[in-house]
Structure 1
Amino acid sequence: MNKLKNKVMLRGALSMLLLAGLGFHSFAQKKNWQNLDLQKDSVFGIDTEKAYEELLKGKKSAPVLVGVLDGGVDINHEDLKRVIWVNKKEKAGNGKDDDKNGYIDDVNGWNFLGSAKGSVSHEALELTRILRRDKAKFENVTAAIVKPADSAAFNQYLKAKIDFEKQTDEAKNAVANIGGLKTVLDSMVKKMGKEKPELADFQNFKAESSIEDRLKRIMVSQLQNSTFEAFYSSQIVKGLEHYQDQLDYNLNPDFDPRPELVGDNYADSQQRNYGSNDVKGPDASHGTHVSGIIAADRTNTIGIQGVADNVMIMGVRAVPDGDERDKDVANSIRYAVANGAKVLNMSFGKGYSWDKKAVDEAVKYAVSKDVLLVQAAGNDNKNLDVEKSFPDRRYEDGGVASSYIVVGASGPNDDKTLKADFSNYGKTTVDVFAPGVQIYSTVPDNKYEAYNGTSMASPVVAGLAALIRSYYPKLTAVQVKEIILKSVVKVNHNVDIEMEEGIAPKSVPFADLCITGGIVNAYEALKLAATYK
């Protein structure tokens, strides 16, 4: 679903806390762990720092442009502003299309989710839009009378309807349960007589009911590595907001911000020239975080260090809070490629597609221009060999995109928890895994936060791809993909796959989770790249 971090932040829902009395995972991880070394640092990073120290010192590199297709990028962030792409053919603020590419004042990228009237923030899910589109056609139709030509669309409609009802029920239950949890927790805090209680306050609290006792244990666990304010904000307030937004926007068939704020002809997939130059948009937290993982300034002494040291970030806004639309995805790919991007990061995904052909054509265009596309696998703990997910590198008319990598998320520990519990997987559909748990990176307004998600694993690989292309610019996109896949660190033990509530995790060989059976490694990839002629 859309910006893939959101679901992970609240995975399991606070409603499960009420039912099971379980707390959220707490991590106290090294801020740069994704770039560290397993042997030296005891975390399963990708050896980026080792590569810089031993392989790249004193070597020349060429700048590489990376397109971040996402929800927006804060181009003024202190740790990103030096690496933001500037379209030198465009004169800022003159209201003209100086470079004649069809986009006025596109100095740092483009926003396909807006116009002069503003930008789309919330959106419906694709399944909600499909139900809205096909309701009149299929509402009173049965499988016995559906026309053969409509059979595929009819089956998709039925599946979407079941998913819609399930997700709506889950969201309603979550809102009710989180609301109830909030009421109890607020009452406990009031009894303590402190607005910002600490660990000791909960340890000393005398519970008067089973729910209070459960909450007490949860809070004692959570406050070992957090503050009450942080927990309350991220899990209670944002949890309630997340599920209420699902009901108000994502799962609301009557909600459609597109006509007013974008104003394009959505039925025309070939339409290119719409949008605005507002690359930040109303919520750039996700895209800014992704950008920092790829390219946060390695020359300064503030914040964090990205994977790649000589890249430019182009922000292309195509992903709202809800499901991205295929037309925008296709146009964002085309825009980034046409303006020189050699690596694209796509940290988004959904379970349904409105116009796969349009996206396929854009992917084919990117492949023809020697561009490497890197996509997050998704955060539903699903087997993509069985479950459909979009975008999909398998073309609707046959064949597979050659310069395209799909990335699952791994954790810091080389044990049964190595697969991030939320990460999608697939022995034939996911290529590699990369760090995606508690990844600390840039967020708007010169701030930094740790996020979980395959959304964070994908830019680790996109950053590695850009790093390879920077130091070995003669390599093709297909060769860079081959190098990344061949140089993984193989995992030769079992890992846990979380099952449904109440069922013990399933232990499987890590090799069954992806094509390569391993975690990407910058050091080994750059060593291998040096052997290519």
Structure 2
Amino acid sequence: MTVTFPRVSLPVLLAATLLSACARRPQASTPAAASAAVSVPTAPVPVVPETPAPAPKPAPLGDQSAAQWYLKDPQLDKVPGVGATRTYAELLKSLTPTPVVVAVIDSGIDTAHVDLKPVLWTNAKEIPGNGIDDDKNGYVDDVHGWNFLGGPDGRNVNAETLEVTRIVAAGRKRFKGKTAATVKPTEKADYALYQKAEKAYKARLAEETERAGQVESMAGPLTQMVGNMKQALNVEKLDTTALKNANTDDPNLKRAVGGMLEMMRQTGASDADALLKELDAASKQERSMLDNSLNLDFNPRADIIKDNPADVTQRYYGNNDLHGPDPMHGTHVSGIIAAVRDNNLGVQGLAPAPVRIMMVRAVPDGDERDKDIANAIRYAVDNGASIINMSFGKEFSPQRPAVEAAFKYAATKNVLLVHAAGNENHNLDVSDNYPASFYMNNAPVPNLLTVGASGPKDNASLPADFSNYSKKAVDVFAPGVGIFSTLPGSTFGNESGTSMASPVTAGVAAVLKSYFPKLTAPELKRIIMQSAQVHHTQVQVPGTEKKADFSTLSVTGGVVDMYEAVKLAQKAAL
């Protein structure tokens, strides 16, 4: 998959709760957009000229950081957050932070966001907008980062195929009419990969075709039912208050009200109209999956970027448009790490003011390419990043050696990589997810942290039901459910996923590096892992009906703890 948002199983959910009129609870991951965004005044026009300015916004809503449960402390507040608020109040108040650059390899960023614009990394050696590579690093006008999904004419790749689609499309041409017995010895590994991909592709195509039909078949009945319920209850807005206050003797209406309430609870929708919007978004997502992600003939890169995707030695392509077609994911991730802390507006990033965000756009709506990820890592390292957040992942990695070479290059420059574990509720001891936590020779990556997602309660739901897990391949968990952060257009809202848990961890790493700049990448990894708050809570193992001790779901068995991490760093600095 692409950016690591969990996907709500809307067809199953709708069928189970509304149309059957019973309040069963199917397993579904937390929705990607759990609450409506809140707005603040318009910020200046983004750096990229072709990006339109956001629409005018209402008056400022002030400090919204109370909605950031993940900043709370497990000891003081009895909430399994990272203890950021306590850490600043007790441990860091007399210390001075130093500058740190955190690169975010993602979908794009709203560079005009009121809570992000002041913390953007700026390439001081580049003169904005003059069309010249002033610093001679190979990238023209890379003022705040670079876009490896752009073309020389300013266009951008948005939708892309899945990696499995690309492998199958190439394999059907290359191996047409061949079998395992007839391919050349030098082709056997590629043929085996192709055969594995064919099996996975056919299963995914069948699954998505069924899902698309289910979602589309739900839209009409649900829209009609919402209208009928509004009329029957004589309300304009069908929210939880209206539903809970419904006074009716009609058993059918009672069942429908119960089903609607359960559906809103499961999806996090604030009202029935928001639910309809989510269903519409799900329908578009499924249609895009079939039309683009799983389309063997779809290849926007050839027309837009015009590079050779097979040539991993190519480094100088793309453009400087960091906004891209959809900067939502990268904007949210960036705010978690370093949104302005002291402006009494919006949210508080985990890291202090000297920390800067460098955006490297390399993650489309579809699977990222290994070549782009390798180049994004190298770009970030060469331009001064100390920490790189990577909230993306996929099932196949045909150019894995190039990515691993970039990992090793980052290690030589003392750069920490933080990666989201993925949202398929898989055990990564037996399932593939790339970039992997180990090199191809099974050696651990010393400068890489892999992060699962945890929730706001220390109970059976402590591990997010969508999160991947592993006693070997997932190092630690971090808050990743209902994470309130920045969204495009100077707005704010909740998102859930290991995509959020990764920047929470990267933000903690940035705090450690900022206040204790001598810490190396392996030391940052060690401190974060050793200081993790270990939980022995009996929890639901994601994707199963089994219960297990939470401590068995990752290497550390714990949740990232900034307070304890800073205390460890202080000892290391003595």
TM-score by length of 1: 0.93
Partner of 1:339: 383
Q: Percent identity?
A: 45
Does 2:538 match 1:525? Answer: no
Query: Any gaps of 5 or more consecutive residues in structure 1?
Result: none
Letter in 1 for 2:178: V
| 2:264 pairs with 1:264 | no
Tell me: CA distance 1:110–1:214, structure 2 relative to 1, closer, same or farther (3 Å).
farther
Match of 1:323 among 345, 356, 367: 367
Give, in angstroms, the shift of residue 101 of structure 1: 0.2
What is the CA deviation profile of residues 389-414 of structure 1, one whole-angstrom value per residue up to 9, with x for unaligned ones?
11124223563321110000000111
Number of the residue aligned with 2:289: 246
Aligned to 2:318: 275
- Residues 334, 60 of structure 1: alpha-carbon distance in 2 compared, 3 angstrom cutoff: same
Q: Give yes or no for the alignment of 1:286 onto 2:329.
A: yes
Displacement of 1:220 in angstroms is 2.0
Aligned pairs for 1:18-417 within 5 A: 18-19=15-16, 22=24, 31-115=67-151, 116-191=153-228, 192-193=230-231, 196-199=237-240, 200=242, 203=246, 216-223=257-264, 226-234=270-278, 236-309=279-352, 310-396=354-440, 399-417=443-461
Say which of 489, 492, 505 aligns to 1:448. 492
Q: Deviations over 1:171-217 (max 9, x none)?
A: 222222122221111112333446643443694688898xx887543
SS of the aligned residue for 2:91 comes to: helix
Q: Deviations over 1:90-113 (max 9, x none)?
A: 000000000000000000000000
Are residue 469 (structure 1) and residue 530 (structure 2) matched?
no
Deviations 1:272-304 (A, max 9, x none): 110000011010000000000000100111110
- How far apart, in 2, do the equivalents of 1:320 and 1:205 lie? 48
Q: Offset of 1:164 from its aligned partner?
A: 1.4
Q: In the superposition, relative to structure 1, how do residues 208 and 327 fare at CA in structure 2: closer, same or farther (>3 Å)? A: farther
1:14–1:239 CA contact under 8 A, matched in 2: no
CA contact (8 A) 1:308 1:463 kept: yes
Deviation at 1:139, TM superposition (A): 4.0
Shift of 1:365: 0.6
What is the rounded CA distance, in whole Å, between the counterparts of 1:463 and 1:482 in structure 2? 15
Look up the match of 1:4.
4
**Please, which moves more after superposition, 194-203 or 183-192?**
194-203
Question: 1:513 corresponds to which residue?
Answer: 553
CA distance in structure 1 between the aligned counterparts of 2:311 and 2:2, rounded to whole angstroms: 22
Sort the Cα spacing of 1:205 and 1:221 in 2 relative to 1 into closer, same or farther, 3 A: farther
CA distance 1:207–1:121, change in 2 (3 Å): farther
Partner secondary structure for residue 316 of structure 1: strand
SS state at 1:118 partner: coil
* Separation in structure 1 between the aligned mates of residue 371 and residue 209 of structure 2, nearest angstrom: 31
Contact 1:121 1:320 (8 Å CA) reproduced: yes
How far off is 1:381 after superposition? 0.5
Q: Flag the 1:294–1:205 CA change in 2: closer, same or farther, 3 A.
A: farther
**Structure 2 counterpart of 1:477, which letter?**
A
Q: Is the 8 A contact 2:437 2:473 kept in 1?
A: no
Q: Secondary structure at the match of 1:482?
A: helix
Task: From the superposition, tell whether residues 370 and 16 of structure 1 become closer, same or farther in structure 2 (CA, over 3 Å).
Answer: same
Most deviating of 457-466 and 136-145: 136-145
Q: Within 2, Cα distance between the matches of 1:512 and 1:449?
A: 32
**Contact conserved, 2:465 with 2:543, CA < 8 A, in 1?**
no
2:293·2:366 contact (CA, 8 Å) conserved in 1? yes
> 1:136: how far off?
1.9
C-alpha distance in 1 between matches for 2:213 and 2:11: 10
User: How far is 1:158 from its partner?
Assistant: 1.9
Residues 323-332 or 507-516, more deviating = 507-516
Give the aligned partner of residue 420 of structure 1: 464
Q: Deviations over 1:347-381 (max 9, x none)?
A: 00000012111111111110100000000000000
> Which residue identity lines up with residue 219 of structure 1 in the other structure?
M
- Distance of 1:215 and 1:396 partners within structure 2: 53
- Match of 1:303, SS state, is coil
Render the CA deviation track for 1:14-34: whole Å, top value 9, x for unaligned: 234315664666989962111
CA–CA distance in 2 between the matches of 1:17 and 1:189? 13
Output the CA distance in 1 between the equivalents of 2:134 and 2:431. Answer: 45
- Contiguous gaps of at least 5 residues in structure 2: 36-64
CA distance in 1, matches of 2:193, 2:8: 26
| CA contact 1:207–1:216 (8 Å) conserved in 2 | no
Deviation larger for 275-284 or 21-30:
21-30
CA RMSD of aligned residues (A): 2.2
**What amino acid does structure 2 have at the position aligned with 1:160?**
A
Letter aligned with residue 512 of structure 1: T
CA distance in 1, matches of 2:209, 2:69: 37
Displacement, 1:385? Answer: 1.1
- Number of paired residues? 523
The alignment partner of 2:525 has SS state of helix
* Counterparts of 1:398 and 1:180, CA distance in 2: 46
2:11 is the alignment partner of 1:14: yes
The letter of the residue matching 2:127 is K
Distance 1:433 1:13 in 2: 26
Q: Which amino acid aligns with 1:440?
A: F
Q: Aligned equivalents of 1:420 and 1:473: distance in 2?
A: 33
Q: Which moved more, 1:212-221 or 1:483-492?
A: 212-221
CA–CA separation in structure 1 for the residues paired with 2:264 and 2:291:
32
Deviation of 1:35 (Å): 1.0
Q: Secondary structure at the match of 1:312?
A: strand
Give the Cα–Cα distance (whole angstroms) in 1 for the partners of residues 542 and 528 of structure 2: 28
Partner of 2:139: helix, strand, or coil?
coil
Query: Quick one: structure 1 residues 223 and 379, their matched pair in 2 at CA, closer, same or farther if it must change by over 3 Å?
Result: closer
Moved more, 389-398 or 460-469: 389-398
**Matching residue's letter, 2:261:** V
Q: How far is the alpha carbon of 1:85 from its aligned partner?
A: 0.7
